[in-house]
A and B are shown apart, each in its own frame.
Chain A
Amino acid sequence: MASSDFLDELRAIVGEDYVIDHREDLLVYEYDGSVDRSMPRAVVLPANADEVSRVMALAYDAGVTVVGRGSGTGLSGGAITPPDGLQIAFPRMNRILEVDSINRTALVEPGVINLDLDNHVRKFGMRYAPDPSSQRACSLGGNIAENAGGPHCLAYGATTNHVIGMEVVLEDGEIVHLGSQAREASGYDLRGAFVGSEGTFGIATKILVRLLPTPESVRTFLGIFPDIDSACTAVSAVIGYGIVPAALEMIDALSIRAVQNVTDAGYPNDAGAVLLIELEGLREEVEEVTKEVESALWDTGAADVRIAEDDAERERLWVGRKTAFGAFGTIAPNYYLVDGVVPRTRLTQMLRKVNEVSERYGITIANVFHAGDGNLHPCMLFDAREPGVMDNAMAAAAELMEECAALGGTLSGEHGIGLEKKQFMPLVYADDDMAAMQRVREAFAPQNRLNPGKIFPDGSYYRPAPHPAAHTAGLYA
């Protein structure tokens, strides 16, 4: 890209102030929440679907690759834009267009902040269930791209379960509609294919989401354990009772320390691990299950079990969980998050592996994760400015992901593959699988102009080097 004509035409579409091409300004569009970094050629901030469509058509004709960015909180490098690429950012498209309390839906623009939507619909006795830890900042558009999860997805499912339909701009600027107004659509579920496509299929410009009624009763427990093993046993015990909590989260000793460094979330500093468990439902139901949860926790060796007395205490317990990743900044300036999922019964085994890898590589790893659905988040903490440290972290990550795959799990629960995990795809998919995925992508974006170079090992479905330990085999070179 780059001709000044192209930039002038962009300015004509979105206005002078909303095309950013000065390199000093672009320093702040190089990053997202991950460790990757790349300065785009320009950033454009459209105000509506029509502008998005015209920007996309212009880029398409000019042969420019386009990468969408919500709030830049992603943890897999999904919004990182190649040096000659155009970044489209959506913070200006932040209107909640409609709330329908009879059909329990909301129509929103992609830049709406997750928590803003939830807060807004709570006035009408409803909620938007997916609640990523970054919900205070992350956008619905980004949530759709990554099929974002969150603690409460244990009971309610990830983003894809809450998106009914979308208005989407394709790579050539065409505007199409996926899904329907109704709850169920006939034919292929293109909406389902689109959610989680990490910005490679198109750009959602309007999103119809499903809302849920707010539960009558909520109860939040903090189970305090002497070590992570007993906490894992407790997870199995709770689920073994046939209970499906709304959320079931594990926070290990290091993460407790990180959080408590900044925010007093009420986690005991000397605990080996804590479980944060939330029950929701009808009052009687919650009362009844409360006893079962308590006994499951005590039976598996809890040192203490606390129940939040009021909303303020509940809020405080959750603030700790939801700020944990940011709080790692008190320990090290960079982190690399592994987002692997294993069957719940393999949690203990997987965490032992994490421990072993941490010791062998001499790398600090914190664990704060969605224990209920087996979605681990071993988080490696390091200073990326130390020479060689990234190689070390990536090698350790490779071992962890291999273990996830070997235990019958997968690479990413909710943060996407993006740049950071793409070299690990061959661990869980054969060439044919990835080729099939690429053919689906071709149906949406034949020219592969949208967020290219993500998800698949080299941006195509050809694996350039044999796994394992792809990082040492020059995959990144």
Chain B
Amino acid sequence: MAGGAQPQTDEVRHSGGGIDAGHGFPYGVPFEGSLNDGPGFAGSDAPTEADLYRCVHCGLCLSACPTYVETQLETESPRGRIALMKAVHEGRTGISERLVSHWELCLQCRACEAVCPSGVPYGRLMEHTRAQVQDNNLASPALSRLSRLFLRAALPHNGRLRIAGHLMRAYQRWGLQGLVRRIGFLKALPGGLSEMEAQMPVMGDRFFSPSRRVYPANPRVYSSEGQSRMTVGLLSGCVMPMMQGDTMRAAVRVLQRNGCDVVTPTAQGCCGALNLHAGDLELGRQLARRNIDAFRSAGVDVIITASAGCGSSMKEYGDLLRDDPDYADAATEFAENTRDITEFLAELPLDPPQAELPWRVTMQDPCHLAHAQRITDAPRQVLRSIPGLQLTEMAESSLCCGSAGFYSLIQRDMSQRLQRRKIGNALATEAQVIASANPGCMAQLEQGLRNAESDVRVKHVVEILDAAYQAEG
């Protein structure tokens, strides 16, 4: 096998890298050598021994894992996926299509990480494992195609994204979409284009625009209402301004109302979360550096995001760039100053709205808020500050909805199973509004509700707060 992290002693190699053969457990030596001739882990971005062996396979993660709960298969569990990583690390197997299929079914929701007694950094292990898979060109064709198309060619480039956004909106608004679907044009094309088209996010009517270059007339600084308490930077990132322009505008208004001058630096862009999740660590680092520079020169006290997935990655910039002498310190500082908008509002604390908003609301915890950032109270505090609002909890509120970035495009079946499960749990509460705090989840929930022919609406927590402020008149 090529280039794997080499076992350290002869004895370890003798036993296939596992438990020392010398002690002679009756079943301790199941086989020697490697199961296949696939490549091992190599290079500086390989999962580290310290991370891997922190897992003592106690199994407490199993019941938290959406794919385990759905399949009941250990291969689709966090403990199983780490066991496969360990097996590669130990040279007992090489990276193979089969192993990759188990790793790719992982949503990277990190629910396991939040319940792990040993604090295994599962998210990091999976990102580094996917980097190894990418380096060896062993990612599934669907993921490779998407990585090329979206993660490298589109997301990092603000200008191209805007053009794509306008084209998609035009396609959806001008009746073209209906026509294409009616004549089944895409079904004739290879590569699952038809499925991808069906999953296409619905573009908002009005894009939110932070960029002077694209929209020079727009103001870049939104001044606070009344006395300014502080200056905050707001991440506009990549697709959220187009998919959820309303959420972005609500975020700005809510911050202004709470005494913040809001800056959206024009030089910012995608946070790199999806690149990192897919294992493209280098591009992720480039995008992180761009945002660090953009917000540093904007002179803001804190950096706020209304996207849980972005916030989670931004809070980990320090770890991501820790070996970069030019950026390590700045990245740590950036990470420490990053706040999810619900977290920020709860900490302020926010100015409670005066008008009643008699909505029945249930909260769906985005994975990257609840598990990766361990924030579950803050959004509820924000919602409970609204007079008249009735908050009812759904079952499994922090079990992944199946959105998970591009997961819904690549793992359609699992994504939809989780989507149905989530919608079922949400509708059982008889809430009128599902509150969320992440653009990906919101799109997934909206699609699920359309499929269920439900008129329940999905709103970001700050949109609900904004509605309460608006109701004050």
Contacts and interface: CB of A to CB of B under 8 A. Distances in A.
Contacts of A383: 53
Given A113-B63, A476-B23, A37 B18 contact: yes
B118 A328 contact: yes
A329 B9 contact: no
Given A23-B35, A91-B72, A386 B83 contact: no
A137 B59 CA distance: 6
A333 B31 contact: no
B8 interface: yes
B43 interface: no
Interface string B63-82: 10000000011110101100
Q: Which of B56, B93, B99 has the most CB of A within 10 A?
A: B56
Contact of A92 (B57, B58, B72): B72
A325 B77 CA distance: 20
Size class of the B contact interface (CB-based, 8 Å)? 35 or more
A80 B27 contact: yes
B74 A136 contact: no
> Chain A interface: which size bin?
35 or more
Given A28-B83, A72-B59, A326-B118, A419 B36 contact: no
A39 B30 contact: yes
B12 interface: yes
Nearest to B96: A24
B9, B93, B99, B116: most-surrounded residue (chain A CB, <10 A)? B116
Nearest to A420: B25
A264 B4 CA distance: 37
B387 to A, nearest CB: 26
Given A262-B119, A329-B118, A384-B19, A419 B72 contact: no
A330 B120 CA distance: 9
Nearest to B24: A476
B306 to A, nearest CB: 28
A36 B62 CA distance: 19
B54 interface: yes
A391 interface: yes
A354 to B, nearest CB: 20
Given A330-B118, A387-B22, A390-B19, A33 B84 contact: no
B318 to A, nearest CB: 19
B92 interface: yes
B378 interface: no
B30 A37 contact: yes
Contacts of A30: 30, 83
The SS class assigned to the A binding surface is: loop
A134 B22 contact: no
Nearest to A39: B30
B20 A325 contact: no
B26 A329 contact: no
B120 A329 contact: yes
B87 interface: yes
B11 A27 contact: no
A311 B61 CA distance: 23
A31 interface: yes
B80 A28 contact: yes
B167 interface: no
B98 A329 contact: no
Contact of B72 (A38, A94, A387): A94
A27 B92 contact: yes
Contact of A325 (B7, B8, B117): B117
A39 B83 CA distance: 13
Given A31-B57, A329-B54, A387-B11, A324 B117 contact: yes
A334 interface: yes
B361 to A, nearest CB: 23
Contacts of B349: none
A137 B58 CA distance: 9
Given A35-B19, A394-B23, A323 B54 contact: no
A136 B9 contact: no
Nearest to B93: A24
A477 B24 contact: yes
Contact of B25 (A36, A91, A116, A138): A36
Contact of A384 (B20, B77, B87): B20
A140 to B, nearest CB: 14
B56 A328 contact: yes
Nearest to A326: B117
A476 B21 CA distance: 11
B60 A326 contact: yes
Contact of B30 (A22, A25, A28, A83): A83
A177 to B, nearest CB: 26
A103 B30 CA distance: 48
A323 B9 contact: no
A261 to B, nearest CB: 7
B120 A38 contact: no
Contact of B57 (A33, A386, A389): A33
B55 interface: yes
B159 interface: no
Interface in A131-146: 134, 136-138
Contacts of A277: none
Interface string B313-344: 00000000000000000000000000000000
B115 interface: yes
Contacts of B388: none
B117 A387 contact: no
A33 B59 contact: yes
B299 interface: no
B54 A333 contact: yes
Interface string A381-407: 001111111110010000000000000
B93 A27 contact: yes
B7 to A, nearest CB: 8
Interface string A326-362: 1111100111000000000000000000000000000
B14 to A, nearest CB: 10
Contacts of B35: 23-24, 27
A421 B89 CA distance: 30
Contacts of A329: 53-56, 58, 117-120
A386 B56 CA distance: 16
Contact of A25 (B12, B27, B98): B98
A131 to B, nearest CB: 14
Contacts of A324: 117
Contacts of A134: 58-60
B28 interface: yes
Given A28-B84, A29-B74, A136 B60 contact: yes
Contact of A327 (B36, B79, B117): B117
A82 interface: yes
Contacts of B18: 37, 384
A334 B23 CA distance: 14
Contacts of A387: 9, 11-12, 20, 22
Contact of B75 (A25, A330, A386, A453): A25
A71 interface: yes
Contacts of B59: 32-33, 71-73, 134, 137-138
Contact of B8 (A261, A262, A328, A385): A385
Query: Considering the complex of A and B, which 10 residue pairs feature the smallest CB-CB distances, nearest first?
Result: A326-B117, A329-B118, A38-B27, A323-B117, A390-B23, A333-B53, A28-B80, A91-B72, A262-B119, A476-B24
27 contacts: A24-B98, A27-B93, A30-B30, A30-B83, A32-B59, A33-B59, A39-B30, A72-B57, A73-B59, A91-B73, A94-B72, A134-B58, A134-B60, A137-B59, A137-B63, A259-B117, A262-B117, A325-B58, A326-B56, A328-B118, A384-B18, A385-B17, A385-B19, A387-B12, A388-B20, A391-B23, A477-B24
Given A136-B63, A329-B117, 6 more contacts: A37-B18, A37-B27, A328-B56, A333-B56, A385-B7, A391-B23
Interface of A: 20, 22-25, 27-33, 35-39, 45, 71-73, 80, 82-83, 89, 91-92, 94, 111, 113, 115-116, 134, 136-138, 259, 261-263, 323-330, 333-335, 383-391, 394, 419, 453, 471, 476-477
